[in-house]
Amino acid sequence: MHLAYPAVLSVLLFCTGLYGVLARRNAILVLMSVELMLNAVNLNLVAFDVWLSKAAEETLHSGQALTLFTIAIAAAEIGIGLAIVLAVHRNRGTSDIDKLRDTAEGPDDGPDDGPDDGGPGTGTPAAGPAAEKAEATA
């Protein structure tokens, strides 16, 4: 088997994944595209391992071992990534990446030079227990 076939397939998979990362707005589709790119790298690792093992007398199959580590890391990455996306979707109501660019702090949450609304010596607004309860549930 020629090395060119799996290499061309790997390049096509990687370019498809790269397009998905750059063009998609949904966070889950971006994670799927990253997984596609990692699978293209795994295909390259295994193909080059097989190609190099034909030339060497003693083979260690290091490309296949590295592929197993990459698969394990990719599984952990997708698990953590999906947990983060679900938490963000639950809090914000969307998984659109363009809408998630603003941080947790709003434009009015930063320090300002004006007087405080909470009275003398306090740094919190005088909204009472309702505001504290809303902050606790957020």
126 contacts 119 by C-beta, under 8 angstroms: yes
pLDDT of 96 reads 85
pLDDT at 125: 54
User: Residue 127: pLDDT above 70?
Assistant: no
User: DSSP string covering 16-57, please?
Assistant: HHHHHHHH--BHHHHHHHHHHHHHHHHHHHHHHHHHHHHH-S
Task: Answer whether residue 94 shows pLDDT above 60.
Answer: yes
Tokens for 9? 């397939």
Q: What pLDDT is stored for residue 6 in this prediction? A: 94
The tens digit of pLDDT for each residue in 100-121 reads 776 555 555 555 555 555 555 5
Do residues 13 and 43 make contact, with C-beta atoms less than 8 angstroms apart? Answer: yes
Compute the half-sphere exposure of residue 14: CA atoms within 13 Å on the CB side of its CA: 12
Residue 60, pLDDT score: 79
Count the neighbouring beta carbons within 10 Å of the beta carbon of residue 56.
8
The type of residue at 32 is M
For the ranges 42-56, 78-92, 123-137, the lowest mean pLDDT is seen at 123-137
Among 108, 104, 5, CA closest to 48:
5
> Average pLDDT, stretch 78-94?
90
